[in-house]
Structure 1
């Protein structure tokens, strides 16, 4: 063998051996690996690799998101119970104290809810819907008047964004105002005698008198960069921005006062769009998909998934997608439509 090649191989093996020893001597988590997905309620073993130069130590303090889980004076793994953990990425840390010094190791787990229930649908009835309405928000009032917020296609062929009051039975537009051309209308909801409507990227929401459609206020967004969907639970507004996050807005000032991230059993669910609050849960369209997810607004966990593939046979592309959920509370009826759809559907859920 060539002497130079042999020497190079020996040097490489020596460096690799040193790196392996260096890695082995580092204080770190052996288990779990960073990013491990854990279903709520599962137990997780927290196992550490201790530095080879540390033969004894004073203590190890284990924590999750800064909250102490356990203190140990030995290297026996600790068991983490995730029963009460919040969904999402949870930071794990271990602090090693020895000889007056401190070393810290980090890892993380992603806590997810159990698999959601799955539903298909049954069409109970069909009603006319304006095929020029680029639907972004949809909601019934107590008198079964349907309120709708529309945007416009990027081509501008379907006119300006609008706010509408509609007779759902025949599709007649009873009342309408158009937004200024610079605004793209998005989600809307009702709160007493007010209508609240979002805009997309303009970072402003509008408040209207429900009866006259006169604008009586407006508000700016906080951390959420865009406006997508909006609903009202009687105490606060819940807003989506196209990510996996739902924001909670003060019912009087519209200021963001918190948020929650949306997860299913596989991880975060992005593209949360139009929203409707139904019997304590948030129903949400998922952008570009014929799917509605049912979210627990207390935890962010997805409890149900409604597959609506095929409900609108004339669907063409993403500009023609499912995007409208309205609930008749008095009649306990669920309605859906989409962008530029000619139909409004009353549907019934069928659990699989």
Structure 2
């Protein structure tokens, strides 16, 4: 009996020893580990584990996203400066050349921005809001008139509203099959998205008469929309924001949005304020402030508790509007009975 037990134990030790040697001899990255979060601007060491059977080699070529970073003939670490690296996952590779042969090791890092500034809020004023309005888009024109896009099939509309009284001044209903989403203003035009129909509508701002339609590009759905004075910016519920030509509505590029923990998904209603994109995050009582050039989230507004009677579903925060003349910020939500004018409070 002892012999039967003893033999497998020896065999297991032998196998484990072989596996350890095999692992130790593999050419690989020691640091960084795959998926390591790195704050943009930080420098990190790239350190390799070299095959144990190789005492010398011809060269090692280090690269990030396929672009050569360094060539070395020794095993000392290489320093990677991430100042110019875009946000997101960056692929690291090292090619080892020895005796006419090549071995390749891979790893990756996720470049993220610094922690965002934190803000709370103070309510300046409350105004009536249609509690039947499933708000999906909200925007003031340069004259201080509020426009609103509402959703839900059979209930979707685009409307002109007196924000002080909540009275609907003009309204155009969408077809029963359309689900209204984000809204923005370009000159005398209103641009409205639909959710999954992959089509957007163009209206005369004064009459709310539909004048044109356009199709989406790479973005799969329509969520939020804003205008920076040169191009439209569109969200589709992911971590991407798409840039659209203001005249043709063709998608011409996009950015990935990141905070210090990684990509920020579920970006929804948008507003462009003083060079930054404000976006609410679907199902959460927060608004993030995004740098449109880099995709970095530079600020986060905590709005928890602003509407204490909020229900669990179909009652989310989903309306951001900025009245530029008075530099006033307004928010509301789906089927909320109030429109809130708020002031940000730094934490």
TM tier, smaller: over 0.9
The Cα shift of 1:92 comes to 0.8
Secondary structure of the corresponding residue to residue 14 of structure 2: helix
RMSD: 1.2
Structure 1 residue 55: Cα displacement = 2.5
> Is 1:198 the counterpart of 2:198 in the alignment?
no
Q: Does 1:263 align with 2:258?
A: yes
Normalization by structure 2: what TM-score? 0.97
Tell me what 2:240 maps to. 245
Task: Give secondary structure in 2 for the equivalent of 1:21.
Answer: helix
The separation in 2 between residues aligned to 1:115 and 1:151, in whole angstroms, is: 34
CA separation in 2, counterparts of 1:222 and 1:101? 45
Contact conserved, 2:172 with 2:209, CA < 8 A, in 1? no
Mapped to 2, the partners of 1:179 and 1:219 lie a distance apart of 15
Note the alpha carbon deviations across 1:97-143, whole angstroms, 9 max, x for none: 22222221111111111111111111111111000000000000001
Query: In the alignment, which residue of structure 1 is the partner of 2:145?
Result: 145
Residue 296 of structure 1 corresponds to which residue in structure 2? 291
1:5–1:223: structure 2 CA closer, same or farther, 3 Å change rule? farther
Whether 1:321 aligns to 2:316 is: yes
Mapped to 1, the partners of 2:78 and 2:112 lie a distance apart of: 21
Q: Alpha-carbon deviation of 1:42?
A: 1.4
CA-to-partner distance for each residue in 1:5-38, whole Å, 9 max, x for gaps?
2222222222222222112111111100000011
Counterpart Cα distance in 1 of 2:246 and 2:159:
22
What are the equivalent positions in structure 2 for 1:19-168 lying under 5 Å apart?
A: 19-152=19-152, 159-168=154-163
Alignment partner, residue 14 of structure 2: 14
More divergent stretch after superposition (134-143 vs 81-90): 81-90
For structure 1, which runs of at least 5 residues remain unmatched after alignment?
none
Any unmatched runs of 5+ in structure 2? none
Runs of 4+ in 1 over 3 A off after TM superposition: none
Structure 1 position 240, deviation (Å): 0.8
Alignment-derived partner of residue 227 in structure 1 = 222
Equivalent residue number for residue 277 of structure 1: 272
Instruction: Give the distance between the partners of 2:176 and 2:53, measured in 1 at CA.
Output: 69
Query: How far apart are the structure 2 equivalents of 1:285 and 1:69?
Result: 38
CA separation in 2, counterparts of 1:193 and 1:291?
Answer: 31
Deviations 1:281-308 (A, max 9, x none): 0000011111001010111111111111
State the partner residue of 1:209.
204
**Paired positions, count:** 347
Aligned with 1:315: secondary structure?
A: coil
- Greater displacement, 11-20 / 60-69: 11-20
- What TM-score results when the alignment is normalised by the length of structure 1? 0.96
Structure-2 residue corresponding to 1:169: 164
Secondary structure of 1:320's match? Answer: coil
Is 1:306 aligned to residue 279 of structure 2?
A: no
Report Cα offsets for 1:212-247 as digits up to 9, x if no partner: 222222222222111111111111111111111111
